[in-house]
Chains A and B, each alone.
Chain A
Amino acid sequence: MRKGNGEKRKDGLWTDAAKRFRKNKLAMAGLVMLAILILCALFANYIAPFHYDEQNLPAAFESPSLRHLMGTDNLGRDIFSRIIYGTRTSLSIALVAVLVATLAGGLMGAVAAFYGGVLDNVIMRFLDVFLAIPSTLLAIAIAAVLGPGVTNTVLAITIGQLPGLARIVRATVLSIKGEEYIRAARSIGAGNMRIIGLHILPNAMAPIIVQATLYVASAILSISSLSFIGLGIQPPTPEWGSMLSAGRAYIRDYWFIVAFPGLAIMATIFAFNLIGDGLRDALDPRLKN
C-alpha cells in the first residue's frame, strides 16, 4: 500500500500519458517512422549516396539496383537520394506551417473564447470566411496569387490551416473556461493573464497537440499537391509531389519513378496519423485508468 502510493506520487498527467503512449504499439511504430524521417531530413547529405540534382543522362531510367536503390529518373538522378532530400523540404515546411498556424490560430481562438462577445464574433466570422473554402483549394488560390516558392507555400498552407486550428482552440478554451476550477482560481484573486496562462492553456494543451499532429499530415499532403500542380516547390529542389508530377509521363514503362515518391508521402502521412491517434488515446481523460 505504502509502496503503491510512493510509486504513484511522481505520476503527473503527462507522465501518465507518456506511459499509455508507450503501451500503444501502433503509435510507437509511427514514432519510430517519424524518427527515421527526421534523421533523414537532418543528415540527408550524409545518408544520400548522390547529390539531389546530380544528373547522369546515360544512366537515365535505370531500374532499382544496389547502386541506385530506387532507380534513376528521366535525367539520371538517383531517386533514393532525391527522396531523402525531399524529406527535408516536406517536413520543414509542414512543421513550420503548422507551428505558425497553431500559434496564430491558437491565439485568435483563445482570445475569442476567453473574452467572448463582440470580439469573439468578429474573429470567428472572419475565420469562417476562410473555413468556407476547402483548405486545399484555398492554398492553391493563395499560391497562385503569390506565386510559387518556399515562403509562399508556407504562407498558403498556414492560412489554409489557421481557421481550423483556431476553432479547435476556441472550443477547448470555451469548455475549460466554464470549469469550476477556473472560477475557483478567480475566487482566490487570480487575474486574467494568470488564469489564461496557468489554468486554461495547460489544460487545453492535450487536444491542441493532438490536432496539430494530425494537421502536419494534411500539411504534407497539401505541399505535395501544390508542388504536383506546379504551384509549390520549384525544381530542382527535390519535393515528393513535384517528383510525382515529373515522373507521371513515364509511369507506363518506369513504375519506380512515381511509386517511391508516392510511398514516401504515404509513409510520412501514415506516421503522423498514427502518432496523432496514439496521442489522442493517451491524452483522452475519458480513457484514463
Chain B
Amino acid sequence: MEKDTLLAVRGLTIQYETDSGVVHAVNGLDMELRHGETLGLVGETGAGKTTAALGIMRLLPEPPAKIQSGEILFKGEDVLKKSDAELRSMRGKKVAMIFQDPMTSLNPVLTVGEQIAEVIQLHERKSAAEAHVKAQEMLRLVGIPPERFSEYPHQFSGGMKQRVVIAIALACDPELLIADEPTTALDMTIQAQVLELMRSLRKELNTSMILITHDLGVVAEMCDRVAIVYAGEIVEQGTAHDVFNDTKHPYTMGLFGALPDLEGSEERLHPIPGLMPDPTHLPEGCRFSPRCPKRTDACVQTLPKNVETVPGHSVRCLLYEHGMQG
C-alpha cells in the first residue's frame, strides 16, 4: 500500500440475507483514497453506493446485512477487525458521515447546538461549557449565526439543517468524510451553496472525502477522482479528467449520453435502455451486458477483470482486456 493512502477497500462483498433471497448489494468493490483527495462514487439508485459507505463505517444493520469478504483498511488498520469500542471511537472522530436527508438526520427533540456539542463531548475531553463554545464556533464556520445554538431542527430550513449536519460531521476534524448524496434532498440554488461550503471547509481542514452522488455535474465540480459503480462493483475508476474526457466503459458513456447538453442540438436525451439488474439475481458474466450496446457473446459468459488502461485509470470491461482498445 502506498504511503499516502488513507483508505483502501479490497474485494468488499456485502450481502443482505432476506427471506426472499440473498441480495448481492456490493460485489468485490475495490477502491483507494489518498490523503486530501475527493473521490466521487457515482451510480444509479440501488447500485450499492450507500451500502458500501455504511459498510466502511460499519453502520450496516447486521443482520440482515453481512460483510462476506474483503478488507477495509483505514490508515492501514482493518475496520472489519475492530471491536465495538474501537469502532465507536473511530466514528465521528476519524471518519464522519453526512446523510442524504437533513430533514430526518437531526434529532427533533435536541437543539442543534446540543447535537454538535454531543459529538465534541464524545470524542474530546472537554467540559460542557467548552463543548458549547466549540459548537458555536462550528455554527459560525458553516455560516449559521451562533445565537441559533439553542434552536430546534424544525426551526431551520433544509439547507440550514444540512449545514448543521456538516458542522456535526466536521466538529472533531475527521480525516475522512463520507457524504452520502448530501445535496439530493435540497433544491438547486441551495445545492450550490452547500457544495461550495463543503468544498471550502474540506480545503480548509484538509479532509479527505468520499462523495456519493448520482449527479455527474456535482462530480465534475467537486472531485479529484471518480469511481463509477454498477450493480455493486466499480466499472470504471480514474481521475475526473480521465473519466470525463477519455470515457472507457460503455456504462459511463451511457451515463453521459443521458445528460442534457446545453450546446448540442439533440432534441431527445439518450437514456440507457433497461433497468439495473435485480440484485437477488445478478446476470452471469458482465453485470452490464444485458443493457450494453457493445455486447459480445463473450460478455454474457465472462466476468470482466479490472484493467488499467493508463496508470490510474482502470475499467472493468472485456473490450479493454488483452490490450485490444476501442
Q: A residues touching B (Cβ–Cβ < 8 Å)? A: 8-13, 179-181, 183-191, 198-199, 202-203, 285, 288
A184 to B161, CA, bound (A): 13
Q: Is the CB of B151 within 8 A of A188?
A: no
Q: Is the CB of B59 within 8 A of A13?
A: no
Q: Is the CB of B99 within 8 A of A188?
A: no
Q: Look across to chain A and name the residue whose beta carbon is closest to the beta carbon of B93.
A: A189
Q: Is the CB of A189 within 8 A of B99?
A: no
A8 to B168, CA, bound (A): 23
B205 interface hit (Cβ, 8 Å) = no
Question: Which B residues from 140 to 160 make CB contacts under 8 A with A?
Answer: 148, 150-152, 154-155
B189 interface hit (Cβ, 8 Å) = no
Does more than half of chain B's interface fall in helix, strand or loop, or is it mixed? mixed
Size category, B interface? 20 to 34
Q: Is the CB of A188 within 8 A of B108?
A: no
Contacts of B101 in A (CB 8 A): 180
Q: Is the CB of B91 within 8 A of A189?
A: yes
A181-B104, A181-B105, A188-B119 known; A12 vs B91 contact (CB < 8 Å): no
Q: Is the CB of A189 within 8 A of B108?
A: no
Contacts of A202 in B (CB 8 A): 109-110
* B160-171 vs A, Cβ < 8 Å mask (1 yes, 0 no): 000001001100
A12-B152, A13-B108, A13-B152 known; A190 vs B96 contact (CB < 8 Å): no
Contacts of A185 in B (CB 8 A): 107, 118
Q: Is the CB of A199 within 8 A of B107?
A: yes
Q: Is the CB of B168 within 8 A of A188?
A: yes
Q: Is the CB of B88 within 8 A of A189?
A: yes
Q: Is the CB of B104 within 8 A of A179?
A: yes
A189-B89, A189-B123, A190-B118 known; A9 vs B151 contact (CB < 8 Å): yes
Q: Is the CB of B106 within 8 A of A184?
A: yes
Known contacts A9-B151, A181-B104; 16 additional CB pairs below 8 A are: A12-B152, A179-B104, A183-B99, A184-B168, A186-B59, A186-B91, A187-B57, A187-B99, A188-B118, A188-B119, A188-B122, A189-B88, A189-B119, A189-B123, A190-B88, A198-B118
Contacts of B152 in A (CB 8 A): 11-13
A181-B104, A183-B99 known; A203 vs B155 contact (CB < 8 Å): no
Q: Is the CB of A180 within 8 A of B105?
A: yes
Q: Name the distance in Å between B163's Cβ and chain A's nearest Cβ.
A: 15
Q: Name the distance in Å between A8's Cβ and chain B's nearest Cβ.
A: 6
Q: Is the CB of B109 within 8 A of A187?
A: no
A239 to B97, CA, bound (A): 59
B90 interface hit (Cβ, 8 Å) = yes
